Amino acid sequence: MAVSDHLRTLRHATWLGWQMESNWTRPWLFLIYSIARPIAATLILVVMFLVVKQGVATDPLLFSYTYLGSAFFMFVAQVMMGATMVIMEDREHYQTLRQLYIAPISLRVYIIGRAMSKLVLTSMSVVISIGFGIVVLGLPLDLAAVDWPLFTAAMVLGIGCILAIGIALAGITFLTAKHSSGINEGIGGAFYLFCGTLFPITVLPAWGQAIGMAIPLTYWLELVRRSLYPGGGMESIGGLGQFSSPTLLLFLLVSSLAFLAASTLIFRFADRRARQAGKVDMTTSY
């Protein structure tokens, strides 16, 4: 299939995703619904920090570490889940998956397109969260000092990796009914725990650190923090201080490619199994 066909699928799927997300209510209400929950989740951590530390100034580095981790983890929670929910929605709720199968498009590109609307929304939430952190909470972040090339590279690879994991989970969703949301949330929860999202991975027991080191999102979060605080000491608390940023970027690239390969295999296998077992148009009243 030509690249132009994929790009057209991507564009229309993104537009469809955006319409499905937003066309049922007024824009301001939609914005509230979209950003209130992730921002509240970040504020829970802020209050926990303030209850113990009494103020941001007592440990600005750890505060920045946690705040940024929580803000950028929204991409994992929203984009990954967005990709997997496509199968559930199109198969069971709208019952359009069989039409997508017979359309001359790539299903994976369609899923990525649908996830793009989540990506846009999440980007807004992250920007608002960080802006709120700087203005209201005193998050010590100097945008002029940010290492933008490193940030851009980390984000491109990180989002690509999140989408790859989302595609794999979408494949698994083909074969499951009610379990799929549990599997997805479980994997999201494991990333939340083991990838150094809220705290340096050195706080985890050794086996937990080993799990964290095997997940590319650990490197992604570390690189995002380092790029936003170049020379700001993030290397010293994250537990990955022995690796330079280019080395971490290489780790992220290699592990993301490995996840992409695994994701492709899982999706193809699940797709074939779902067709064989007649599960493509299964409805389970989830």
**Residue numbers at the binding site for another protein (CB under 8 A):** 24-25, 32-33, 36-38, 40-41, 43-45, 47-53, 62, 66, 93-94, 178-179, 182-183, 185-186, 189-190, 192-193, 197-200, 203-204, 285
Count CA within 13 A, CB hemisphere, residue 60.
Answer: 11
CA–CA separation, 102 vs 150, rounded Å? 41
Question: Is 251 in contact with 245 (CB distance < 8 Å)?
Answer: no
Least distance (Å) between residue 144 CB and another protein: 29
Q: Which residue, 43 or 258, is less far from another protein as judged by CB?
A: 43
The least CB distance from residue 96 to another protein, in Å, is 12
**Nearest distance from C-beta of residue 161 to another protein, angstroms:** 20
**Cβ-based nearer residue to another protein, 12 or 178:** 178
Q: How many CB atoms lie within 10 A of CB 214?
A: 11
- Closer residue to another protein in complex, CB, 67/259: 67
Nearest distance from C-beta of residue 93 to another protein, angstroms: 8
139 neighbors 70 (Cβ within 8 angstroms): no
Q: Which amino acid is at 19?
A: Q
Q: Distance between CA 220 and CA 68 in Å, rounded?
A: 12
Sign of dihedral through CA atoms 103, 15, 177, 267?
positive
Q: Which is nearer to another protein, 160 or 188 (CB)?
A: 188
Q: How far is the CB of 92 from another protein (least distance, A)?
A: 10
Q: Which is nearer to another protein, 43 or 155 (CB)?
A: 43
| Of residues 71, 77, 64, the one with CA closest to residue 226 | 64
